[in-house]
Amino acid sequence: MVRSPAHFKGSQLPACLLCSVIPLTTIMNMLCRVGQIRRCAASLSQAQVVASRQKHTLPDLTYDYGALEPHISAEIMQLHHSKHHATYVNNLNVTEEKYQEALAKGDVTTQVALQPALKFNGGGHINHTIFWTNLSPNGGGEPQGELMEAIKRDFGSLQKMKEKMSAATIAVQGSGWGWLGYDKENGRLRIAACANQDPLQGTTGLIPLLGIDVWEHAYYLQYKNVRPDYVKAIWNVINWENVSERLQTAKK
Ligand SMILES: [Fe+2]
């Protein structure tokens, strides 16, 4: 029970100078106001965290949509980049916003329910961002220096590495990716395949160096159902300099 000073008599008065000059009800009202202000401030800071979070954006290509022809058509590149990748970016931003809200509320059930969307759209954004830089109109040929030495050491030759990666990539059931990755544990290169948009590092621990997208949106308009022809052609536009740079970064 809240008692005002009128309820106290003689020695019952609280030994508080503040209470002796300001009615207790006024003090209680002031404390309530402080609590409200604190709660408002907490809500505001949560909203600011959500609002100030950096949004993901679609990265620009460093070459024209038609620059990889005849190996990958301009129509495929345009749809693939401006529609498919853009959709992963948009859905990742929406998912992250919902996740931040759930985090702020301490809503673990919603956080768990959002994990598949985070993996799918986050993986889609990560994978495609790497993919565009793995390709170049001036690509093809052979890698140089340390990358070539590592390929020879771990696969025997460039040709054997390409054969092994092509086979693993073509064999992906449904939609997915073939990868050349770096195993930081033993310093070696490895071939791997991932289903759907599962990101290589997040699901296997391998650091991605070179990815081949074998979702049908990556080749169907040009190669129809003949995935092996698409995988064979893509070696003509592989940007080995980018793969080499990724290896150097991965080894640090
Ligand atoms: Fe794709």
Strand-pair category, 207-213 with 188-195: unpaired
228/156 same-domain check: yes
> What's the mean pLDDT in 78-102?
98
176/204 same-domain check: yes
197/227 same-domain check: yes
173/119 same-domain check: no
Instruction: Tell me whether residue 106 is in a domain.
Output: yes
Instruction: Tell me whether residue 19 is in a domain.
Output: no
Could you tell me the distance, in angstroms and rounded to a whole number, from the CA of residue 135 to the centre of ligand 1? 13
User: For the chain, what is the mean pLDDT?
Assistant: 86
- Range 189-206 burial, b when 16+ CB lie within 10 A, else e: bbbbbbebbbbbeeebeb
User: What CATH code is carried by the domain that includes residue 104?
Assistant: 1.10.287.990
Could you tell me the distance, in angstroms and rounded to a whole number, from the CA of residue 176 to the centre of ligand 1? 9
User: What CATH code is carried by the domain that includes residue 180?
Assistant: 3.55.40.20
pLDDT in tens, 23-55: 444 434 443 444 443 443 444 445 455 455 789
Could you tell me the distance, in angstroms and rounded to a whole number, from the CA of residue 250 to the centre of ligand 1? 23
Collapsed DSSP state (helix, strand, coil) of residue 213:
strand
Is 125 annotated in some ligand binding site?
A: no
From residue 147, give the alpha-carbon distance in Å to each of 90, 143, 158, 227, 239.
35, 6, 10, 27, 12
Count of H-run helices and E-run strands, the chain: 12, 3
User: Does residue 186 carry a pLDDT above 50?
Assistant: yes
pLDDT in tens, 202-247: 999 999 999 999 999 999 999 999 999 999 999 999 999 999 999 9
109/163 same-domain check: no
Is 84 annotated in some ligand binding site?
A: no
**Residue 91: CA atoms inside 13 Å, Cβ hemisphere, count?**
18
In this prediction the pTM is 0.80
User: DSSP assignment of 240-252, as one string?
Assistant: HHHHHHHHHHHH-
Residues with CB under 5 A from ligand 1 (ion): 213, 215, 218
Instruction: Tell me whether residue 33 is in a domain.
Output: no
Is 128 annotated in some ligand binding site?
A: yes
Instruction: Tell me whether residue 140 is in a domain.
Output: no
Could you tell me the distance, in angstroms and rounded to a whole number, from the CA of residue 128 to the centre of ligand 1? 6
Could you tell me the distance, in angstroms and rounded to a whole number, from the CA of residue 25 to the centre of ligand 1? 66
Could you tell me the distance, in angstroms and rounded to a whole number, from the CA of residue 177 to the centre of ligand 1? 9
Structure token pair of residue 96: 């992250």
User: Does residue 21 carry a pLDDT above 50?
Assistant: no
- Give the domain range for residue 94: 74-134
Q: Sorting pLDDT into bands at 50, 70 and 90, what band is 9?
A: very low
The total domain count for the chain is 2
94/181 same-domain check: no
Q: How far apart are CA 122 and CA 126, in angstroms?
A: 6
From residue 173, give the alpha-carbon distance in Å to each of 77, 178, 195.
23, 11, 8
